[in-house]
Amino acid sequence: MNQHTPAAANCCVASLLIACAFLFTGACAQRTPSGPYTSDSAPDIARNPALARELHARASSLMASDPAQAEQLLRQSLDADLYHGPAHNNLGVLLLSRGELYAAASEFEWARKLMPGHPDPRVNLAMTLEQAGRFDEAINAYDSALAVYDGFLPALQGKTKLQVRRGESGPGMLAALDEIALRGDSEWRDWALLWRSKIESR
């Protein structure tokens, strides 16, 4: 989806509005369902993937305009198919936008495991961990996104922004800032060039 902005990254995407998050636009009271990553998961759990995809698509179109209805549809999607990764990801986005970090992280973990080749849930998880102050884990999550999608710009931006925040420097940082300046939008380009000059002058 859209790149983060430096301002959003500065506050660890604390407000993570829908426009800043990584939604999947394919095709409740908080619950802790049994499923693929819990000890009481059942191999014969009922699944309706087609219905889950349909409900998820409807929810995706409402994420910005009607988040309450979108959440209801996402939970219905997961009732239809608990293994539908994009619904877990987008539910996590809604939870994170409300500051429910633990619940959001849980949904992003589900999405990450169900969508092993996709970087978006990993970046969303990294932003959640960063907002929670768990910076080392956030860096690892950004790295895992880059491992499945080499050069994924939002992951590179998020990781580099966090490293700058922590006062890190070095050749790797300069290279990352150069890439952000080259590939990012104008706001990110200005930010990267500013911090490159600051690091070089130390």
pLDDT tens by residue, the chain, 202 residues: 444 555 433 333 333 333 345 665 543 333 334 444 444 444 557 899 999 999 999 999 999 999 999 999 999 999 999 999 999 999 999 999 999 999 999 999 999 999 999 999 999 999 999 999 999 999 999 999 999 999 999 999 999 999 999 999 888 999 999 999 999 999 999 999 999 999 988 8
Structure tokens at 95: 């939870």
Rg (CA), the chain: 18
User: What separation in angstroms does the CA of 165 have from each of 12, 22, 155, 195?
Assistant: 10, 22, 15, 11
Q: Domain of 20?
A: 6-28+47-151
* pLDDT given at position 169: 87
125 found inside a domain: yes
* pLDDT given at position 45: 73
Which DSSP string corresponds to 7-41?
HHHHTTTTT--GGGS--------------TTSTT-
User: What separation in angstroms does the CA of 52 have from each of 20, 47, 129?
Assistant: 24, 9, 28
Instruction: List Cβ neighbours of 126 (8 Å cut-off, separation of 6 or more).
Output: 138, 139, 141, 142, 145, 155, 158, 159
User: Residues 146, 122, 86, 25: is their CA dihedral positive or negative?
Assistant: negative
Burial of 95 (0-12, 13-18, 19+ CB in 10 A): buried
The total of structural domains in the chain comes to 1
101 found inside a domain: yes
Per-residue b/e over 96-120, b at no fewer than 16 CB within 10 Å? bbeebbebbbbbbbbbbebbeebbb
Query: How much is the pTM?
Result: 0.80
1 found inside a domain: no
Whole-angstrom distance, CA of residue 140 vs CA of residue 142:
5
* pLDDT given at position 29: 32
Instruction: List Cβ neighbours of 171 (8 Å cut-off, separation of 6 or more).
Output: none
172 found inside a domain: no
* pLDDT given at position 19: 38
* pLDDT given at position 94: 98
Map residue 47 onto helix, strand or coil: coil
* pLDDT given at position 36: 47
CATH of the domain at 70: 1.25.40.10
136 found inside a domain: yes
* pLDDT given at position 44: 59
Residue 79: phi and psi, rounded to 5, are -65, -35
